[in-house]
Amino acid sequence: MKRGFFISLLILAGFTSLSAAEQPVIELKNKSTFDMENGSRNPFWPIGWKPAAKIANGADHGGTDLPATVFVVSTITVEPTGRFAIINGKTMTEGQQFGLQMGTQTYQITVKKIEDGRVILGRRDQEILVPLRRK
């Protein structure tokens, strides 16, 4: 019984190797391409989805200094594993950058340091000290 099984297995393996060698190679006549025009919507985006605005290097055009009142620090967590703060409703860590949009202008802000009771933000050469809002 075992001997018959092994012989049939060898014969089957021989036929499959012969049939694999006889298959023709498929050659492509026309290669598919996809070209998108500038400013057109990417067809692979979900319906109704819009990309987030990109902040260009020159988007922060001077202007006046930002007051600390435009930022709301609601929570600060100081742990050995890291420091976190919730600024304007978003969780931030030290060194993280984010954009603040006021009117038509977008300001590039960096979280410089998170301390107990306050956060130090930076915009160019301006340092903004934002205290923890306590109710």
pLDDT tens track for 74-130: 999 998 888 999 999 999 999 999 998 888 888 899 999 999 999 999 988 889 999
Return the domain boundaries, the chain: 68-131
pTM: 0.54
Q: Where are the alpha helices (DSSP H) in 32-118?
A: none
pLDDT band (50, 70, 90) for residue 15: low
Angstrom distance (rounded) from CA 118 to CA 134: 11
Which segments within the chain are labelled E, that is strand? 73-79, 82-87, 90-93, 97-102, 105-115, 118-123, 126-131
CA distances from 1 to 4, 9, 52, 97, 123 (A): 5, 12, 69, 73, 83
